[in-house]
Amino acid sequence: MVNNYVVYFGKPLPLGASLNEYGVNFSIFSRHATAVTLILFESPAQDSPYEEIRLDRKKNKTGDIWHCFVPNIKAGSQYLYKVDGPFIPERGLRFNFHKALIDPYAKALTSVARWDFKDCLAYNYKENGKDLSYSYHDNIKTQPRCIVIDDNFDWQGDIPLNYPLRFSVLYETHVRGLTQNPNSGAIHPGTYRGLIEKIPFLKDLGITGLELLPIQEFNEMEFPRINPLTGETLVNYWGYSTVAFFAPKASYASDRAPGAQVYEFKEMVRELHKAGIEVILDIVFNHTAEGNELGPTISFRGLDNNIYYMLDENRRYYKNYSGCGNTMNCNHPVVRSFIIDCLHYWVMEMHVDGFRFDLGSILGRDQQGRLMENPPTLELIAEDPILSNTKIIAEAWDAGGAYQVGWFPGGRWAEWNDRFRDDVRLFWRGASHVTRYLATRLSGSSDLYLRDGRKPFHSINFITSHDGFTMRDLVSYSYKHNEGNGEDNRDGGDSNNSANYGIEGPSTDPDIERLRERQIKNFIATMMISLGTPMLLGGDEFGRTQQGNNNAYCQDNKISWYDWSFLETYRGLYRFTKEIIAFRLRHPGFMRPEFYTGRDGNYNAIPDISWFDHNGETPDWDDLGSYLALRMDGSRSDILADRDDNDFFIMFNGGEKRCLFNVCDPLEGKKWVRAVDTSIPSPNDILEPGTEAPLFFPHRYLLNDHSIVILISKFI
């Protein structure tokens, strides 16, 4: 004992550590605990003395919540818990008083250079079929500590931007990887402040929102392995293994003072908002870092294992719909409240604009793991009044076999549309049988989203994401090259629909390089002219490569870091990307709120969309080949906008030969002019407003192989 703290009854709500001018209220849930002890540390030093305050179950407990108020505790103070109770694995109870636990509501954790999970393990073993995994090993010196946070921050009037989803262009990136490379020019590389330094670049590119890979606290050293190619230690780089859901990652802060990560994260959000850029967090409620029955006891397992996790019929074990050893029991009322409290915190206190839910289908499983028709957690998120303007995006599948793209339950959810990814990849690889499906993807995937009342913008259209090839690798490798991950190239997907166009990997052949860059432009342009919400993988705009690794989850090195020298090498590609984003955002026709109908909305005898084969005839959808054209009427009544747009005639050639397209007549008094032709070298591949090129032959266009042409109608 070091301070002989005075302890008062305290209050059960809010959960967590709540600071006021007099001290701190501590509150934590545990239904089956027999004793709860609050541990307070004298100083931030790793080996500092501490005091254990055992809570009185009569005075410091309301229902299932243990609580106390400790006066004179300040911001920056550090704490943990010990929780005692029955250790009966066959009933799902795994209390262990010797394990210091993290508060699930902790707003920050201390940064530990090498977080040692071994001290959290119970050294599980079995004898005669009986689980004997209780451990007397104390982890208090190695467990990261919770930090009391003062929520006060000078937001300078900031509020979440909450753009309508249909006006959004998303950019998926990793906070550390964006600026960690020495050639990034960042003063604070690999941090929230490093990201702030890249705001001028992001603003120039024209994106409206960042979708950040997980920034909630996780342990990089969770699964230390060695890269067999280089000998370096591999780490958890992506961060899809959360330890503390309310706590921003400490190692992403340039200021390593305890709790500084909270203020730096807020600073990053504030400055991005000033630049008109939203912040969307990739959040992982489907599992935690505690893993399976052999994993460490960090927090939830030691607080109430059989409430927080889905347990197998043999309750010693965990259901594993996440592929990571355990599955959060998301539709248990206690866990449901935890999830909502967490989302409220990030929106209300941290000002984020939205969330992408990793393996979101797990949030739709009941406590036995069965998929539910009307999952209360998903419905609650969709209907919650605090979150009503917040973007909610589902990865609509899980590792347990659920695949819900197009029918994700819960109302207003948007979805990562992997059908868009696959069909567009296949078309540009030359698979002529998917041309009919390309038309559906260009139209907002009505086959997926129309039937349940959702809109085109609920489709998050992407070609590449963190999980898989970068766009440059998609056109440079026919096979994955994940040997450096230390799993004998077994990890990562095998169905990539990629192509190398003659040489596996880097090429010095200028013809191959030109074709590869043209295909990247085709992918990006297809996203930008499709109904739906486009999402660009960060770095694709200037040819970022992972050297053929399509699962770089463990590569915290130059495989994953952005190489900013490519911004000069691929300056034409960057210019094209920037201009095609601006092109989309200038034209409301590509952001229409409803699906096409094929009908005429303004009585000019032209439907909102018309489809053609290369001869200008109505398509035979079973025999189109690799050629497709469309005409889009830009009148305000057809695009459901407050102003008229241009009309568009867009042609696609996914084949290996040039094709002569017949071009339909524009409206009387107008002419078609070329805005985009991806086969033309930069800077003439996309022309700025007012500089579009008239057609040499008004009713014909010779479309080069592997290319898109976009014509717009203008009075000339």
Sequence-ordered list of residues with C-beta below 8 angstroms from that of 117, at least 6 positions apart, any chain: 219, 221, 222, 289, 296, 298
Give residue-wise pLDDT tens across range 79-111.
Answer: 999 999 999 999 999 999 999 999 999 999 998
Burial class (CB in 10 A: 0-12, 13-18, 19+), 495: exposed
pLDDT at 137: 77
Report the C-alpha gap between 246 and 34 in whole angstroms: 26
Beta strands, E only, 35-123 = 35-41, 50-54, 61-62, 65-71, 78-84, 87-88, 93-94
Give residue-wise pLDDT tens across range 630-641.
Answer: 999 999 999 999
Give residue-wise pLDDT tens across range 452-477.
Answer: 999 999 999 999 999 999 999 999 99
Q: Confidence band (pLDDT; 50, 70, 90) for 126? A: low
Give residue-wise pLDDT tens across range 306-341.
Answer: 999 999 999 999 999 999 999 999 999 999 999 999
- Total H helices, total E strands in the chain: 15, 32
Would the CA dihedral through 640, 643, 647, 652 be positive or negative? negative
pLDDT at 334: 98
> Is it the case that residue 176 has pLDDT exceeding 60?
yes
Q: Which residue carries 């053609």 as its tokens? A: 612
pLDDT at 205: 98
Maximum alpha-carbon separation in the chain: 90
**Tokens describing residue 713:** 């109608």
Bridge partners of residue 417, in order along the sequence: 461
Element housing 447 (H / E): helix 446-449
Give residue-wise pLDDT tens across range 400-439.
Answer: 999 999 999 988 999 999 999 999 999 999 999 999 999 9
pLDDT at 278: 98
Residue 98 Rama label (left phi>0; alpha psi -120 to 50; beta): alpha
pLDDT at 141: 86
> Is it the case that residue 2 has pLDDT exceeding 60?
no
Whether the Cβ atoms of residue 273 and residue 158 lie closer than 8 Å to each other: yes
> Is it the case that residue 117 has pLDDT exceeding 70?
no
Bridge partners of residue 661, in order along the sequence: 701
Give whole-number Cα distances, 281 to 148, 180, 210, 349, in Å: 23, 20, 8, 14
What is the pLDDT of the chain when averaged over all its residues? 95
636 CB neighbour count, 10 Å cutoff = 15
Give whole-number Cα distances, 358 to 244, 285, 416, 555, in Å: 16, 7, 10, 20
Give residue-wise pLDDT tens across range 133-142.
Answer: 677 778 898 8
More confidently predicted of 64 and 130:
64
pLDDT at 3: 63
- The mean pLDDT of 529-543, rounded to a whole number, is 98
Give residue-wise pLDDT tens across range 218-263.
Answer: 999 887 889 999 999 999 999 999 999 999 999 999 999 999 999 9
pLDDT at 131: 56
Q: Which residues are catalytic?
A: 358, 395
This prediction's pTM: 0.96
* Three-class DSSP category at 1: coil
Q: Give the side-chain half-sphere CA count within 13 A for 203.
A: 12
Task: For residue 284, give the DSSP letter.
Answer: -
Report the C-alpha gap between 460 and 531 in whole angstroms: 10
Query: In one letter, which amino acid is 332?
Result: H
Give all domains of the chain, ordered by start, each with its CATH number. 16-147 (2.60.40.10), 166-286+330-588 (3.20.20.80), 601-715 (2.60.40.1180)
pLDDT at 45: 78
> Is it the case that residue 125 has pLDDT exceeding 70?
no
Give residue-wise pLDDT tens across range 477-528.
Answer: 999 999 999 999 999 999 999 999 999 999 999 999 999 999 999 999 999 9
Sequence-ordered list of residues with C-beta below 8 angstroms from that of 384, at least 6 positions apart, any chain: 340, 343, 344
- The mean pLDDT of 611-635, rounded to a whole number, is 96
Q: Confidence band (pLDDT; 50, 70, 90) for 1? A: very low
Percent of the chain surpassing pLDDT 70: 97
**Tokens describing residue 516:** 């590869």
> Is it the case that residue 654 has pLDDT exceeding 50?
yes
Q: 87-88 and 93-94 as β-strands: parallel, antiparallel, unpaired?
A: antiparallel
Bridge partners of residue 278, in order along the sequence: 209
Report the C-alpha gap between 448 and 703 in whole angstroms: 31
pLDDT at 703: 98
Whether the Cβ atoms of residue 188 and residue 174 lie closer than 8 Å to each other: no
Whether the Cβ atoms of residue 38 and residue 162 lie closer than 8 Å to each other: no
Q: Which residue carries 């003395």 as its tokens? A: 49
Report the C-alpha gap between 444 and 669 in whole angstroms: 31
Give whole-number Cα distances, 587 to 39, 276, 575, 590, 643, in Å: 59, 19, 18, 6, 10
> Is it the case that residue 264 has pLDDT exceeding 50?
yes
